[in-house]
Every structure is written in C-alpha cells, then in structure tokens.
Structure 1
Amino acid sequence: MQLLYNIAAIIIVILIIPMFMVRSVREKGFVERIRQSLGFFPEHALDKVEKKDCIWVHAASVGEIVATSPLIKEFRKEFPKSPILVSVVTTSGYEMANRIIKDADAIIYFPLDLPWLAGHVLRRIRPRVFLPVETELWPNFLRTARKIHVPVMMVNGRISDKSVKQYKHLHSLLRNMIGTVKLFAMQSPIDAEYIMRLGAPQELVTVTGNTKFDQTYTDVSPEEKQKIIEEMGLSKNDGIFLAGSTHRGEEEAVLQAFKAVRETHPHARLVIAPRELLRTMEVVHLCRKAGFSVTTRTKLQNEAPQDEDIVILDTIGELGKVYSIGDVVFVGGSLVPHGGHNILEPAAHGKAIIVGSHMFNFKDTYALFKNRDACLTVKNGEELAKQVTRLFDEPEHRHRMEEETRAIVRENKGASRKSAILLHQMLESYESSPENRHHVRSTQKITNFQTYFIDLVHSKEVDGLFPHLIMGILYIFSLIYGLLVNIKLAGYKYGIFQKQKLDCFVISLGNVTVGGTGKTPTAQRLARDIRDMGYRVVILNRGYRAKWHGEVGIVSDGKRLHMDAAEAGDEAYMLAKHLPEVPVLIGAERAKTGRYAMEHFGAEVAILDDGYQHWQLERDLDILLVDAVNVFGNGYILPRGTLREPISHISRADICLMTKVDQAAAGSCDYIRETVHRYNPEARIVESIHQPRCFIPLTEWYVNIASQGIDIAQMRGKRIMAVSAIGNPASFEQTLSDLGAVIIESLRYPDHHDYAMSEMTDIFQQAENAGAEAIVITEKDAVKIPADVAREKWSIPIYVICVEVNFQKGSEGLADLLKKRLAERLGH
C-alpha cells in the first residue's frame, strides 16, 4: 500500500506542475511555498529549532491555525525552554500564522509527503515531538517518525463522516499511521468514537474539547471595532449583514437575503468574505448584476470610503476580527454540500449565527449551538432571506441568541490547557520508558534521503518496481547532466568561457566522485611538504556548509584561527587547525581568494582544496584522488551515480593519487591503474595510506591547534565505541581495528550530520551500558559536536582520531615532479 501511495503521490505532483506554474504567477508567495515544500528553506529559518528538541505543531490552513494559536500559548507556558516550530500547507495559513502566532520560534511550510523528502526534513529538524492539528496525517512523514522515534500526539483531533469512509480504504497505510500516534486528544465524543472506529486504541483516546474556544487573537475592543467599520466605509448603517467563507453558489442566496433586508432597513450594509480570494472579481460582478454598488477591502485601503452597499473582504486573516462588526452572520460552505466552516470565530464575538444544512464537517460544534438555539439552520435562499430579515426586525430575538452564544463559549474554554498538560504527561511517560531512555539514533536504525539514495545508486536496494522506476528517471537526468558537464568543459577548453590566471603556482586537489576520498588530510600533507620546501603556501577552500558568506573569508592566517567550525565549514576548519604557518581562506571564487592571499600573505603556492571541477581558474598541477576502497563510485554520473563527471575526464590529471591502498580489496589498485592509463597514459600514479597520528581528547582538541594528543598505541586492547558521520565509515572502523582497538559498538550517522546534545547524551549512555572504555570519533565529527559536550564531565572519555597521509609507492616521483614544477615557475 505504501508503494502505491508513493507512486500516486509522484504522479500527482508531476500532473499538477502546470497548475503550480500558473499559481506561481497569480498568487503572491506561492513560489516560496513550493520552495519550502520541496525542502529548500530560507537561510537561518530553522536555526532556532533544528536539532534543538523543538515542539513541532502542524496546522494545514487558516482554520487549523486559529485552533493552533491558543495551543502555542499554553505550550510556551508548559515548556518554557523548548523551542516551538509551526508548519502550514497553504499560503493563507502561512500569512495567518505569522500574523497571530507570536510565540513560535519558526514558521515554515510543511514538506510534500513524497518518498524521502518528508523524512529528510523531519530528520533534519529532529523535533522532540510532532503534533498534527485536527487530522493532518501523512504516511511518509509518519513512517519516518516511527523509524527515528519521534513521538506523535494528535491535538484538537477532528474526523468527519466523509473522512471515516475515505480512510478505511487505506488499509495497512491507515494502520501504520494510527499506530504511530501515541495519544489522540479529540474535540468531541463523536470524534473520539470515529478515531477509535479507524483503529485507535481506546486507552490512547481522550476528549479535550475544541481549542478554538480558547482563541483570543480575534478579541476586538469597542475602539477597534469602530475603526474597522470606518475603514470599510460602513459608518452609515442600520445593521450589517456579514457572510463569511462563502462558496460558489451561495453568494446568490446571500444577495437575495440582503435584498429582502433592504426592504425594511434601507441603510443595511453587506460584507461578503469569499472563501477563495481568487473568486473576488466573480463575486463583485454578481453584486453589480444584483443591482448593488460594491467595493473591496483592498481598494478601500488605498482610497477614501464611498459608502457602497457591499464590501468584499478580499484580504487574508482578517475575517476573525471583521466578524465583530456583523449584526447577523451567515457562515458559508453550508448551503452547498461542502461541509460548512467553523462557527466558533463569529461565536467568539457573541453573534447571531445562521448556517446551511450541510454542516457535516463540524457536526459536534454545530449540534452544540443548534440544540441551544444559538444557531439557525436554513435550506435555501428563501429560508435564508426569511431568517436574516427576522433577526434584523426582531432585535430581542437576536440578542437572546447572542447571549446564548457567549455562554457556550465561556463554558467550553480550557481545551488548550488540557492539551498542554496531556502533552507533558505523554512526553514524561514516553521519554522515561527503558526502550527510549537508552535509544541511540544511529543510521543502523534510521536512514534519510542521503543514505537511502547512496544505497540505492550503489544497487543495494533495487528490489521492487518503485526503486527501478526511480533509477530509470535518475539515469535520464544523468545523461543530461553529463552532456552539460562536457559542454561546459569544452567551453573552457576552446576559450568560449574565459579562464582566470593567478601569478602564483596553483595546485588543484580533487576527485571525480562524490564522497570522501581523503582530500582534507592530503591537502594538509601537501601543504606541509611545500611549506617545508621554503615556499609560502596557502589553501583555498570553497567553504562548503559555511555560515560565513562573502567574497574572501580568513579561517586562519597561519598563526591563529579567525573562524569557528560553523562559520568556516568543517573541512576548512580542520585544515586550519593542523597547519601552522599556512593561511586557510574560503570563498566561492578561488581567483578572488587567491589574489587576496598573494596581496596579504605573499602566497607563492595556492592549493585548491576540492578544485578539480573549478575550471574557471588555470592551474599548474592537477592532482586527482581516487579512493581505492570505493573505486570510481558506481560508474554512473550524478544523480544516477556518484560521479561528478565522466571517468574519461581523468585525462586532465597530472598525478593520480590512490588513497587508502592498505584497505583496498584485491585487484582494486590494478583496476585503477588500468583505468587511469586507458584515459591518461602520461599521468603519474602515486599510492598513499591514511595513517593514524594520535588520539586527542575532545576537550583538548577544541582549544589547541596541532595538538600532539596521546600515542596511538595506548588504544590497543581498549573496548571502544566508534561514532561517525562520514562518507566512508567502514574505512574509519577498519583503521581502529588495525590499531588493536576492540570495537564493541559502531554508530553510523548520515554524512555531515550535526549532532544534537540529546543525541550525545544517548551515545554516552549506551557506551556506558555496553561497558565501553572510550568513545572514538573522527575530526569531521568533532566539528559537528556541540561545544557543551567538551565542557561537560562524562564518565567515559571521548577521543578524536587524527590521521595523516603517508605517500607510498611513487612518492619519489611525486616529490621530484613537484620540486621541478615549482622551481620552473617560481625560480627557487
């Protein structure tokens, strides 16, 4: 069932792309909605919530945001130290959330529930708990929540008759979704009965009431009410009829009722708020056709009011407050079989309310008001005209309804507070249980988009129709990508695109595959060797994942660090930590950072870290790294494989450096040699190994540059836990085993994973339970671990393994070539 759902979801997205294109032109903010729905969030949008154990509340649109507003206030009181994230689906919901929810730390669009995408965003944020408002259940998202042990609690739960019938067709998909939710806080006994009918265990279902009774954002003072009336040009009136959230087919009935009211109240005015703002001009034409003068709210914001008969409310998020000016209110979506809209917003203002007979989406709230004569029901335009006229003509009857409405609202407040208390109790119970107290979130238990993709393209998960379909699509994109790469490279080769040149010796160091080949330690070794030859050398890094943005960033001037790991990016920071007297600079354009290095540091040699594809800059020496453990990826170009460019582009390399040859499988090195010679007979081939230099305690690693640490022999025979978030964790673990360490547990996280404090606490707890004597991480992991971890005192020490590259076979040729080329260019 999950497979069918995923195929259907992808097909639907593809089919509605044309509609998305139209809406992106017509609707303000729609492009940003799609960007975020695809997982591309604005810079720093998630800084306050990402991996900070936030409370994630999801509300689809305006109605759910209204219900969410009082919940957020209560969650803030109950969890003052927990950041709060609110997500929405619609642009109107997004605008409404930003307007009325002031206690949220971040407000975003919810990701599309596509395979991998929804899970990728969930793993990135890693909330403490996920709270869908009403019935926002998404299979892929909840599937990931189960895998990574994020508890889910439904708040202000509501199930319509129609939804019950539709959900039953989901079978196993429904069971999985319902089984993910730890607690169901439902609006009414009817909703509770329906959710149990769908499979929710009775002991997990409770009735809290409707949180919309608690909302206060629509509170309007007498002065504010008068201001709204004046701004909308409604000052001269003998009664205001307000029709909210109307649908196509209802405005005609509303206009018929207004015409009847005008017979006895000639100065009565009408406000219509169409549910869909795109229908504004359609409703304007209907009003004019009926013989009334009409204007819109947005038009009145730019010109003086003209006392028109009708005002169309064509703004987002104002209806809740504008309900306050109505004397009689009709709530739409109910004369047509849409299911109605929530009557609690006008009820909060104590209004006399009229609805149509189709209120099945709000059955319980509707029944509550109807049974106490606080709400009138009509079947058609004639009955609507009759009831509206009666309420205008009989103010005492209208006032009785208004009093009863206010009484119902007063009696039903408190659902938000109940929900906050239930959430606290649920989290205490969940987090204190043995299976969750000692749970470690490792990629042995979870996969995200990145790790799933890597397994998929390496043919580790190709069973079934769906993966094969994805692989076929990716292959087509690979052909396109490969063509574009070749065109771009040809442009530089034949002078169509201009290359830039530096007045220093430029060495490019890189690879043709995605993932770790050992560029960072190789760049360190190369820089040290050139420095020791007497040349002034700098390293130019692009600053991958750096928070710093600008043309030239100085990570290190060779004497001290000027940026931390977050600012510089982990690769540049690690380079700077181990290279005294070698400045490290970051910037997207290496020509600019190179010129800066020459002007300010007197650079004679510039090493382009990960620069094999940086064709914009001429280089004197190209060194290509090939991982002897993971040879040329899987032979396919991105996105079908892990090749950045075709293998034939080995032809550009002056030197091919095989890394980790001591860990290579039999025949791998011979295969690499044959492949290199096939495309580049002139290239020199050099072998290297990654040799551990020392183990540095994390506390010492954080404060010292080029620390010596402890001898590697001291780890022999120790029971250790290996923790890593790198491209090739097997190589790291093999290195530890070769040193004689006893690995009792290995935890693997996605490459470039940022560790949360809660994760580190879990790791230490599991290491203690397993009887580990030490935890060992890589330098790449060290820069991703919170500084607070180093400052805390733990029962088990954590060490950072520092490795260095040692050139093996072919090293003499490399040294000779390097000295010769440097002397020819620089004259030393």
Structure 2
Amino acid sequence: MQILYNLAAILVVILIIPVFMIRSVREKGFVERIRQSLGFYPVETLEKVAKKHCIWVHAASVGEIVATSPLIKEFHKEFPKTPILVSVVTTSGYEMANRIIKDADAIIYFPLDLPFLAGSVLRRIHPRVFLPVETELWPNFLKTARKLHIPVMMVNGRISDRSVKQYRYLRSLLSDMIGTVTKFAMQSDIDADYIMRLGASPELVTVTGNTKFDQTYTDVSPEEKAAIIREMGLEKAEGILLAGSTHRGEEDFVLKAFKAVREKHGKAKLVIAPRELLRTQEVIHICKRAGFTVTTRTKQQEQGPQDADIVILDTIGELGKVYSVGDVVYVGGSLIPHGGHNILEPAAHGKAIIVGHYMFNFKDTHALFKKRNACITVNNEQELAAETVQLFDDAAHRHQLEAETLAIVGENKGASRKSAIILREMLESYESIPENRQRARFTQKIDNFQTYFIELVHLKEVNGFGEHILTALLYILSKIYALLVDFKLWGYRHGMFSRKKLDCFVISLGNVTVGGTGKTPTAQRLASDIRDMGYKVVILNRGYRAKWHGKVGIVSDGERLHMTAADAGDEAFMLAKHLPEVPVLIGADRSVTGQYAIENFGAEVAILDDGFQHWQLERDMDILLVDAVNVFGNGYMLPRGTLREPIAHISRADVCLLTKVDQAAEGSRDFIRDTVHRYNEEAQIVESIHQPRRFIPLADWYVDIAGDGIDVNQMRGKQVMAVSAIGNPASFEQTLSDLGTVILESLRYPDHHDYSMQEMADILHQAERMGAEAIVITEKDAVKIPMEVIHAGIKIPVYVICVEVTFQQGKEEFKSLLAQRLADKLGPRTAK
C-alpha cells in the first residue's frame, strides 16, 4: 500500500506542475511555498529549531492555525525553554500563522509527503515531538517518525464522517499511521469514537474539547471595532450582514437574503468574505449583476473608505476580527455539501449565527450550539432570507442568541491548557522509558554516518530489513578481515614480516576492541608510576586525527608543550598536558619515534599508547585493557562488530587490565576472568576504576589541568547536560549518575569529534532552554572545544570532569611484576 501511495503522490505532483506554474505567477508567496515544500528552507529559520529538541506543531491552513494559536501559547508556558516550530500547507495559512502566532520560534511550509523528501526534512529538524492539528496525517512523514522514535500526539483531533469512510480505503497504510500516534487528544466524544473505529487504542484517546474556544487573536477592543467600521465605510450602516467563508453558489443565496433585508432596512450593509481569494473578481461581478454597488477591503486600504452597499473582504487573516462588526453572521460552506466552516470565530464575538444544514465537518460544535438554540440552521435560500430578516427585525431575539453564544464559549474554554498538560505527561512517560531514551539518542545522530555505523555495529541484534541486509554484508567482510588479521599475526610470529627492536623497555597498552576502554588515562597512570620508580619514560602515540604529518612529532619534550590539540590529536595533547615531565611523541611508526626519544630524551621506557596491534615493533610487556562495562563489544570482528582481532588473541597479553569495574554488571568480571584464562592461563589480571577527581571549570582547565576545581560531591543533585565525543559515552554518563547528578539530556558526538563554534552555541542554547545548571564534558572533549567559547561570556558553566585511574584488585602483584621486568632489563632504580 505504501508503494501505491508513493506512486500516486509522485504522479499527482507531476500532473499539477502546470497548475503550480500558473499559481506562482498569480499568487503572492506561492514560489516561496513551493521552495520550502521541496525542502529548501531559509538557513536562518531552520537553525532556530533544527536538532534543538523542538516541539513541532503542524496545522494545514487558516482554520487549523486558528486552533493552533492558543495551543502555542500554552505550550510556551509549559515548556518555556523549548523551541517551537509551526508548519503549514497553504499560503494563507502561512500568512495567518505569521500574523497571529507570536510564540513560535520558526514558521515553515510543511514538506511534500514524497518518499525521501518528507523523511529528509524530519531528520534535519529531529524534533522532540510532532503534533499534527486535527487530522493532518501523512504516511511518509510518519513512517520516518517511527524510525526515528519521535513521539506523535494528535491535538485538537477532528474526524468527519466522510474522512472515516475515506480513511478505511487506506487499509495497512491507515494502520501504520494510527499506530505511529502516541496520544490522541480529540475535540469531542464523537471524534474520539471515530478515531477508535479507525484503529486507535482506547487507552491512547482522550477528549480535550476544541482549542478554538480559547483563541484570543480575534479579540477586538471597542476602539479597534470602531476603526474597522470606519475603514470599511460602514459608519452609516443601520445593521450589517456578514457572510464569512462563502463558496461558489452561496453568494447568490446571500444576496437574495440581503435584498430582502434592504426592503425593510434600507441602510443595511453586506460584507462578504469569499473562502478563496482568487474568486474575488467573480464575487464582485455577481454582486454588481444583482444591482448593488461594490468595493473591496484592499481598495479601501489604498484609496480610503468608500460608501458601497457591499464590501468584499479580500485580505488574509482579518475575518476573525471583522466578524466583530456583523449584526447577523452567516457562516458559509454550509448551504452546499462542503461541510461548513468553523462557527467559533463569530461566536467568540457573541454574534447571532446562521448556518446551512451541511455542517458535517463541524458536527459536534454545530450540535452543541443547535441544542442550546445558539444558532439558526436553514435548509435553503428561502429559509436563509426569512431568518436573516427576522433577526434584523427582532432585536430581542438576536440578543438572546448573542448571549447564549457567549455563554457557550465561556463554558468551553480550557482545551488548550488540557492539551499542554497531556503533552507534558505524555513526554515524561515516553522519555522515562530507558529504551526510548536510548533510541532517541541513537536516532538523533543517525544523519552522521560515523555515529550511525558505530551504533549499528555495537548491536547484537538488529531490526528492519535494511539493517539485516547491511549487517549481513558487514558480517561477510568481518570474516575476511579476521582471516587477514590472523595471517598478518602469523607472518610476524614466523618471520615472514620483520620486526624492529628498540634499545629500551617497550610496553604496549591497548585492547582488542575499538575505543572506549580508557587507554589514555591508563597510559597517564602507568607513565606517572614508572616515572616515580626512577625511570625515564616517554609515551609514543600514533597521533590519531592530528593535523601534523611527518615521521616524528614532538607534542611535549618533558618541559613544555610544542603542539596544540588540533596539531597533536586530542589523546596525545591530553597526555602531554597531564604529564609535564614526560615527553610525548606522535608518529605512525613507533620504532622511529621511539628511536628519536632514546637519542634525544634518553628514554629508558617507551609506552606505546594504543599499541597492542603495533606488531612491527617488539615489546617487553603487553598490557591488554578490557572494558568491564562493554565486554568485548558484541562479539563480532570489524566491520560487523567492534573487535579489532579475535578474542583468542588474548593469548599475547602479559597483563589483562579490567577497566571501570565499579560500573560493571553483575557477573561481568567473572566472565572476563574466565575468558582470559581460557586463552591465556599465564596472564596476570588486574582491576581498575576511573575515579572522578574534580569538576574543573573549562576556563580554569585550560590554565591548570591539575587545578582544584570543585569537589565532586558539590555536583550532587545538579541538573546537567552531558556532552561527549568519546568511544564509550555510556560510561561517562554512568559516572555522572553515580555522582548524583541529574542528567537532563545527553548529547553524543562521534569519537574524536571537533566541536565548531556553531555547535557549541547550539549546545549552550539547548542547555539554557532545558534549564540545565551546568554542562559537563570529558577532558578529551575539552581539548576539542574552540578557545573562543571561554571568552564568549557563556551563562551556563561548563565543567570538565577529571578522572584518574586507580588500580584495585591485583595491583600489588602488577606492581611487583612491572618492577621486576624493568629491573631485569634496565637495572633497579631508586623510587622518587
């Protein structure tokens, strides 16, 4: 069914291209509508809401915008720090939205519901929630919302009899759309019953009332009303008949009624507001043919007030206020089988209202007013004329209708407030489910291929046909990769490939998985301990993502820094900054950088940071790190999983260091120990934790990385935003949670990500809107944040959490082993 829908949608767009061309010439603003509908949005508009956790409210045209106006006000009150996006379909709706909705951060045209297009726009914006007004359900758009796990809540929901019958033909497409909606806030019991007939679960359906009862944009002061009457040349009128939202054919009915009124009330005036402004000239011709003098609202605005029998309201967005000048109001679309229009706008002004019997689009509102004798329903043009004349003749009857109308409006206010409360409850319930939070964080970055790829390969199981195909391909590639790794290692072991040797003690520090095990802080701890044992130690880093390129790069000579974080890469720079007395060098060939360190710095011990796979250099000790939180990834080799080499290669390790054991799940440590002993009975096993030391303000961290900062306990209970671009962000977030902070939001970027000023501005803006008391980042992120951020006068403090590796169980045995191996090769030293 989806395929048929897509084919039909594409065909319709192709067929109406000539119509688009004509309308682009005739209608002001139509070209911009098409541009945005095709996904070409102004950058300055989109950047206010895109990827900022916004609330997206979609209203098709003027009528839905009227219902949306009070909703936006209530959403702004309930979520004051959350951006609000409003989308529309029609040009008149766009102009109306810009006129009456002041609390929206951005207003755009809704994208055409074409395959790829609608989904692409939704991915670019990635709102916190999507709220279609009334029955604005679009299959492709909602399909993407399902994939991105964006909750959908229908607000001011309305279903007509005709829609119920038409929707049933959509079958599976209807089931998918209804199944995507998390909550249905419907206008009436009738609408609630209809949506449940279409497949909505009863527990997801609630009745809020009609938000159009809450609209205030049409409120008119006595001064404003007098100004409208004066500007429209109606000051001499002795009674005004106002026909709003008329359709072709209805103007003849209205003119006959007006002619009947003029027989008794010679100075009565008529105002006609055609539903389609393109019909203005047609309506003028009909009025003149009936023998009346005619002018238009725009002509009066240009030339001043004109005394004519009839004024054509040919402007957008004014009808709601102009209803205030009418003594008797006929609401169009109701004496032809269109289904009527909203009677709440004239009702808000307390008007005597007449409608035709075709009111099926507004059945509940019509039923309410009809039951209370607050409006008159006519069946034909003769009854329209008779009832109109009677209301002009009988002021008491007219005032009775007006009073009852105002009473109904007053009694039914509050739907918008109810909707805002339901939205908050729905979001709190939805976002409190860990699985939804995880999915949201994953899909929020899905446009970034690196992040998507990393998240995908971490999964043990996948869902969806596309992901199954992709992971099957990755699995085949991983088998090929495993064979190549085995062959390469076999070649080094059997002399097929040569290995170089340094005249110093070489320690490799690494893992068999990709990222996130804590190599950098462990290298820092190990280098510090070896230095304190009395040996001259250097760290050799490959300089991943460094801008510097060459054979030997000196990040630090043990006395001062020679490179920036951008030049050296974040890991090497952080090591150099933390270890001012330890030289740190970068270069792809560790034998070259190691030889340089021996000759120029007298290096006795070289630590190969992330060097477990650097087989071309002989080592005296191999230390393998295993993340106790994310144990061996998902068990698959690259690129299907995160294993760099088969788990069996644990056999090469002299020491196996379990990191972050304090965050490990029950049984994880025993599982790792059993796995290590299965492949390597001789390996010594040591445990470590990443101990949070201090929270240091970002500006202070740049000046003194070992500064005092604030005690970790002072952050307990603080509402924070966690921002990270590291291999294992879950561990960082768990550390913050363990310290008692309340994580309002977690923003995850690809490992080693370089933050731009725009990204930091967006992060700070989002944190401010969410009410965060602080932003917390890792040291690895701190070196990637532009220095300009520090001097930007930011309102929310940015803290760097500083951690240090502390060895736990097995530390004495490890210390003895390391000291013995060093002494055997280099001789004993006197510890500092």
Instruction: Answer yes or no: same fold by TM over 0.5.
Output: yes
Q: Which has the larger radius of gyration?
A: 2
Partner SS state of residue 301, structure 1? helix
1:415 aligned partner:
415
TM-score for the superposition, normalised by structure 1? 0.62
Matches within 5 A, 1:9-408: 9-408=9-408
Change (3 A) 1:743 1:284: farther
In the alignment, the residues of structure 1 paired with residue 322 and residue 645 of structure 2 have an alpha-carbon distance, to the nearest angstrom, of 70
| Residues in 1 aligned to 2:140 and 2:570: alpha-carbon distance in whole angstroms | 44
Q: Which amino acid aligns with 1:578?
A: D
2:809 maps to which residue?
A: none
Is the contact made by 2:62 and 2:96 (CA closer than 8 Å) also made in structure 1? yes
Q: Please give the secondary structure, in 1, of the residue aligned with 2:200.
A: coil
**Using the alignment, how far apart are the partners of 1:793 and 1:522 within structure 2?**
23
1:330 is paired with a residue whose SS is strand
**CA, structure 1 residues 168+445, in 2 after alignment: closer, same or farther (shift >3 Å)?**
farther
Deviations 1:302-325 (A, max 9, x none): 112221000000000000000000
Quote the Cα distance in structure 1 between the aligned partners of 2:577 and 2:34: 45
Corresponding residue SS for 1:44: helix
Matched letter for residue 89 of structure 1? V
For residue 48 of structure 1, report the CA deviation from its aligned partner.
1.9
SS in 1 for 2:235: coil
**C-alpha separation in 1, matches of 2:89 and 2:99:** 16
In the superposition, the TM-score normalised over structure 2's length comes to 0.61
State the Cα distance separating 1:380 from its structure 2 match: 1.5
DSSP 3-state at the match of 1:5:
helix
Equivalences for 1:234-633 in 2 at 5 Å? 234-439=234-439, 441-442=441-442, 577-578=566-567
Question: How far apart are the structure 2 equivalents of 1:275 and 1:782?
Answer: 51
The answer to whether the Cα contact below 8 Å between 1:69 and 1:100 also exists between their aligned partners in 2 is yes
Instruction: From the superposition, tell whether residues 387 and 451 of structure 1 become closer, same or farther in structure 2 (CA, over 3 Å).
Output: farther
1:214–1:415: 8 Å Cα contact kept in structure 2? Answer: yes
Q: Deviation of residue 437 (structure 1)? A: 3.1
Tell me if the contact between 2:160 and 2:361 (Cα under 8 Å) persists in the aligned partners: yes
Q: Quick one: distance in 1 between partners of 2:777 and 2:546? A: 34
Gap runs ≥5 in structure 1: 465-519, 530-558, 562-573, 580-691, 702-706, 723-728, 745-755, 803-828
Alpha-carbon contact 2:354-2:377 (below 8 Å) kept: yes
* SS in structure 2 of the partner of residue 399 of structure 1: helix
Question: Residue type matched to 1:383 in 2?
Answer: E
Deviation string for 1:284-342 (max 9, x for gaps)? 00000000000100000011222100000000000000000000000000111000000
Q: Percent identity?
A: 65
- Cα drift, residue 436 of structure 1: 1.6
Q: Per-residue deviation at 1:224?
A: 0.4
Distance, in Å, in 1 between the alignment partners of 2:125 and 2:659 is 30
Task: Flag the 1:104–1:693 CA change in 2: closer, same or farther, 3 A.
Answer: closer
Structure 1 pair 763/263, CA: closer, same or farther in 2 (3 Å)? Answer: farther
3-state secondary structure, aligned to 1:442? helix
Q: Any conservation in 2 of the 1:146–1:180 contact (CA below 8 Å)?
A: yes
Relative distance call for 1:254 and 1:522 in structure 2 (3 A) is: same
Contact kept, 8 Å, 1:273 with 1:314, in 2: the verdict is yes
Do the aligned partners of 1:66 and 1:212 also contact (CA within 8 Å) in 2? yes
The structural deviation recorded for 1:434 is 2.4
Decide whether the 8 Å contact of 1:57 with 1:86 is kept in 2.
yes
Answer whether contact 1:55 1:85 (CA < 8 A) is retained.
yes
SS in structure 2 at match of 1:439: helix
CA distance in 1, matches of 2:421, 2:576: 40
- Of 609, 626, 649, the match for 1:713: 609
CA contact (8 A) 1:133 1:156 kept: yes
Q: CA deviation at 1:188?
A: 0.3
Superposed CA RMSD in Å reads: 4.4
Cα deviation code 1:73-104 (max 9, x no counterpart): 11111111111111111110111011101111
Q: Secondary structure of the residue that 1:234 maps to in structure 2?
A: coil
Give the superposition deviation at 1:463. 13
CA contact (8 A) 1:698 1:782 kept: no
Is 1:438–1:765's contact at 8 Å kept on the other side of the alignment? no
CA shift for structure 1 position 153: 0.7
Residue 389 (structure 1) shift: 0.5
The change in CA–CA distance for 1:96 and 1:302 in structure 2 (over 3 A counts) is same
8 Å CA contact retained: 1:374, 1:402: yes
Do the aligned partners of residues 797 and 269 (structure 1) sit closer, same or farther apart at CA in structure 2, a change above 3 Å counting?
same
State whether residues 776 and 801 of structure 1, in contact with CA within 8 Å, keep that contact through their aligned partners in structure 2. Answer: no
| Deviation sequence 1:93-132 (CA, Å, 0-9, x none) | 1110111011111111111111111111111111111111
Q: Is contact 1:694-1:801 (8 Å) kept?
A: no
Looking at structure 1, the residues matched to 264 and 48 of structure 2 have their Cα atoms a distance apart, in angstroms, of 58
Q: Distance in 2 between matches of 1:138 and 1:119?
A: 11
Asked if the contact 1:60–1:89 (Cα under 8 Å) also holds between the matched residues in 2, the reply is yes
Indicate conservation of the 8 Å contact 2:724/2:778, yes or no.
Answer: no
Q: Displacement, 1:697?
A: 5.3
Unaligned 5+ runs, structure 2: 457-464, 470-542, 552-561, 579-583, 588-606, 613-623, 631-636, 651-656, 661-719, 737-747, 768-773, 786-832
Residue aligned with 2:302, SS: coil
Instruction: Classify 1:560/1:99 alpha carbon distance in 2 versus 1 (closer, same or farther; 3 Å).
Output: farther
Alpha-carbon offset, residue 218 of structure 1: 0.3
Secondary structure class of the residue paired with 1:355 = strand
Residue in 1 aligned with 2:684? Answer: none
Equivalent pairs, count: 566
Q: Judging changes above 3 Å, is the alpha-carbon distance between structure 1 residues 451 and 432 closer, same or farther for their aligned structure 2 residues? A: closer
Where 1:31 maps in the other structure, the secondary structure is helix
Q: 2:15 is matched by which residue type in structure 1?
A: L
Structure 1 CA distance for aligned equivalents of residues 16 and 387 of structure 2? 42
